[in-house]
Amino acid sequence: MSAAKPGSSAAFGRSGGSAAGAARDPVLRRYDKAKGRRDAFNALLQDGYDLALPGADPTGTRPEGAKSDVQLYEGQGMRSVTTRRARMHNQLFPPFDDAIVEFELEGLDADDIEDDALFEKVQEHLAKQARKAQRAVTNSNFHLEIPLALGDSLVSTGALMVNQGPSLLRPLVCEAVPIAQLVPEEGTFGILETVFRPRSVPFRDIEILWDDAAIPAELAEKHKDDPDANVAVLECQIHDPRKETYQYLVYVAEGERRIVERTYTSPPIIAFRMGKFTGEVLGRGPVLWCRADLKTANAVKKMHLQHLSIAAAGIWQADDDGVINVSNIRLVPGTIIPKAVGSQGLQPLQSPARFDVSQMHLEELRRGIKETIEGPPLPGYDQDRPVAYAFQAAERNRAEVEVPQHLRLYFELDMRFWRRVIDILSNPAMAGSPYAIELFELDGRMVRPIPKNPLVRLQENQKALQAMQALLEVLQIAPNAAQQLADTPKFLRRYLLMRGFPADCLVTADKLRELQQQAERERAAMMAGAQQGFSAAAQIGGTPEGQAVVQTAAKAMGGANG
């Protein structure tokens, strides 16, 4: 999809349009207020992006293709953002992992299911739907767009737009919303639910982007001969906290006409932050946390380069003896410079600066920037210490920093993204698609899956590990008592499922019950056969012939043992 620079937002300014004051559309008045708060961050955002992501345009005023890094001398911020963005992508949405999301049934806790057969049936159904959602996301352009949005969140606020795809085989289409087109409004509970997006699109793309658009006749007539001309539009996502729905509206600037009106149960535009200050709408990511160090390092590096240019060409001094004409001297190999008797000739001017000290300061700044943006460093190879232990300790330290930093991403990005995916894939329009998510029938009602909170997944994994550790400790102390107190087969089944073992690879509860019954029947048959053998032996032993046979057998066994 082609789109022009997002400078069209001015068309929806406070004094723009045909309506004004109280007569103006309430949604547009709401946008005016949000835009005013958003514009207050322009200078801060420009600083952050210039130092860490110079290719981005946070204000929407830079011409496309313009040089954006001419004032950037120190690239540590840009390198650290690239590294952290890739690691976040792999941690939150690993591209080659088949289990990046887990589902649960809406309004039902799996721990409340006492029937093992029903529990396994639910787990198998949810695992199947999760695999469908995973394949749908993998086959979309999600993994191409999410790094761009994550990069914006490292500076301030990222946004991802998720819509239904053009066909049943391509059910999802994602787009990273540029920061210049993002005008968020914080909801009642502190999440960016309401979002405005001013931008320009070619007129010919309006019917492709919004097939239900009611295009005004005068606008269609105006662009009849020039369908490639850009049209300023405003996308609005208005959250209704009472109904838990999202009203999606689209306006055109000319006449401020509303051309699209829809209602969703999940947000098509997902705005998210890594951190924020109390009372502010836009986020403040790691780049803004170390903005002072970034600016200082950039200034120090600039002074270094100036010093190097002086050192390369040099600044020279000469006695004014009437012999040397400095305007005619070219410092090239083989040059002969005349000098008067007793004169020192050309002499290099010594610099009074001590750049070895500033180099040490620059290295310290780089370390601080790298640790702030990337997280605590992992240890390098050192023969004087156990490297494996050092890496484990460093990984724990890094997790202690990154997990709290990702909490807001879990709630504002991860859960809302998967809710949006479920809404699209469970839509009746997706019937016949290999990615269509099916509902689960429980007690005569159809229950839809919802994404499980990733923090709950982490807690469940931790609980499962603690339970396994407790069982192993008891087995070491009193194995017989542990087997009597613990239902080991049931625990192991739950443990395997909680740790992500495929439900379809487990023996079902019905099959296990059938195997147990078969084993009991075989054991009973063996006991009955043995009892019959003992009875027959007793009967034979009571006769003279039987006693003779027993004595003969005893002698034979004695001879064999003798």
Q: What is the pLDDT of residues 463-519, one digit of tens each?
A: 777 888 888 888 888 888 877 888 888 888 778 877 767 766 777 767 777 777 888
Phi first, then psi: give them for residue 321, nearest 5 degrees. Answer: -105, 5
143 and 258 inside one domain: yes
Q: Which residues contact 75 (CB under 8 A, 6 or more apart)?
A: none
What are the C-alpha distances in Å from 297 to residues 152, 228, 302, 365? Answer: 22, 45, 8, 6
Helix, strand or coil, per DSSP, at residue 365: helix
Report DSSP state, residue 17. S
- Give yes or no for a contact between 303 and 171, defined as CB atoms under 8 angstroms apart: no
43 and 157 inside one domain: yes
313 and 167 inside one domain: yes
Nearest to 370, CA basis, from 159, 33, 78, 98? 78
Structurally, the chain folds into a number of domains equal to 3
- Give yes or no for a contact between 72 and 54, defined as CB atoms under 8 angstroms apart: yes
Q: Is the dihedral of CA 165, 146, 12, 33 positive or negative?
A: positive
Lowest mean pLDDT among 315-319, 421-425, 533-537: 533-537
CA–CA separation, 285 vs 157, rounded Å?
A: 8
Residue with tokens 């547009």: 28
- Give yes or no for a contact between 408 and 274, defined as CB atoms under 8 angstroms apart: yes
- Give yes or no for a contact between 33 and 178, defined as CB atoms under 8 angstroms apart: no
Asked if residue 330 belongs to a domain, the reply is no
Question: Which tokens in the block code for residue 56?
Answer: 């981005």
Residue with tokens 């295009």: 215
Residue 11 has pLDDT above 70, yes or no: no
446 and 362 inside one domain: yes
495 and 359 inside one domain: no
Residue with tokens 């022009």: 4
CA–CA separation, 549 vs 540, rounded Å?
A: 9
Q: Give the global pTM.
A: 0.75
Residue with tokens 């976040």: 88
pLDDT band at 535 (very low <50, low <70, confident <90, very high): low
Report DSSP state, residue 24. S
Per residue in 414-448, pLDDT (tens digit) is 989 999 999 999 999 998 899 999 888 776 667 77
CA–CA separation, 535 vs 386, rounded Å?
A: 69
Q: Is the dihedral of CA 406, 461, 96, 429 positive or negative?
A: negative
| DSSP code per residue over 464-505 | HHHHHHHHHHHHHH-HHHHHHHS-HHHHHHHHHHHTT--GGG
> End-to-end alpha-carbon separation of the chain, Å?
97
What are the C-alpha distances in Å from 83 to residues 88, 151, 412? Answer: 9, 10, 22
Q: Which of residues 482, 506, 530 is at a domain's end? A: 506
Asked if residue 130 belongs to a domain, the reply is yes
Query: Which range of residues forms the domain containing residue 164?
Result: 1-317+353-452
pLDDT score recorded for residue 410: 85
Q: Which amino acid is at 289?
A: W
Q: Which amino acid is at 536?
A: A
Phi first, then psi: give them for residue 339, nearest 5 degrees. Answer: -150, 150
pLDDT score recorded for residue 541: 60
pLDDT score recorded for residue 80: 95
pLDDT score recorded for residue 33: 94
499 and 515 inside one domain: no
pLDDT score recorded for residue 250: 97
Asked if residue 326 belongs to a domain, the reply is no
Nearest to 238, CA basis, from 22, 11, 14, 27? 27
Per residue in 291-308, pLDDT (tens digit) is 999 999 999 888 888 777
- Give yes or no for a contact between 318 and 345, defined as CB atoms under 8 angstroms apart: yes
pLDDT score recorded for residue 48: 94
- Give yes or no for a contact between 235 and 272, defined as CB atoms under 8 angstroms apart: no
Asked if residue 278 belongs to a domain, the reply is yes
177 and 205 inside one domain: yes
Residues in the chain: 562
- Give yes or no for a contact between 130 and 101, defined as CB atoms under 8 angstroms apart: yes
pLDDT score recorded for residue 12: 66
- Give yes or no for a contact between 113 and 119, defined as CB atoms under 8 angstroms apart: yes
- Give yes or no for a contact between 81 and 154, defined as CB atoms under 8 angstroms apart: yes
pLDDT score recorded for residue 395: 60
475 and 446 inside one domain: no
523 and 502 inside one domain: no
Residue with tokens 């379809």: 504
Question: Which tokens in the block code for residue 433?
Answer: 């698609």
Question: Which tokens in the block code for residue 139?
Answer: 């086959």
Asked if residue 28 belongs to a domain, the reply is yes
The rounded Cα 310 to chain-centroid distance in angstroms is 46
Asked if residue 518 belongs to a domain, the reply is yes
Per residue in 119-170, pLDDT (tens digit) is 778 888 888 888 899 999 999 999 999 999 999 999 999 999 999 999 999 9
Residue 19 has pLDDT above 50, yes or no: no
- Give yes or no for a contact between 435 and 85, defined as CB atoms under 8 angstroms apart: no
CA–CA separation, 502 vs 125, rounded Å?
A: 11
Rg (the chain; Cα; Å) = 37
392 and 519 inside one domain: no
CA–CA separation, 479 vs 482, rounded Å?
A: 5
11 and 106 inside one domain: yes
Asked if residue 343 belongs to a domain, the reply is no
482 and 392 inside one domain: no
Report DSSP state, residue 279. T
pLDDT band at 324 (very low <50, low <70, confident <90, very high): low
Mark residue 337 as left, alpha or beta (left: phi above 0; alpha: psi -120 to 50; beta: remaining). Answer: beta
CA–CA separation, 84 vs 75, rounded Å?
A: 14
Q: What angle do CA 151, 157, 158 make, to 5 degrees?
A: 55
Asked if residue 347 belongs to a domain, the reply is no
Q: Which residues pair with 105 in a beta bridge?
A: 449
pLDDT score recorded for residue 546: 63
Q: Which of residues 429, 452, 475 is at a domain's end? A: 452
Residue 556 has pLDDT above 70, yes or no: no
CA–CA separation, 446 vs 443, rounded Å?
A: 8
Helix, strand or coil, per DSSP, at residue 56: coil
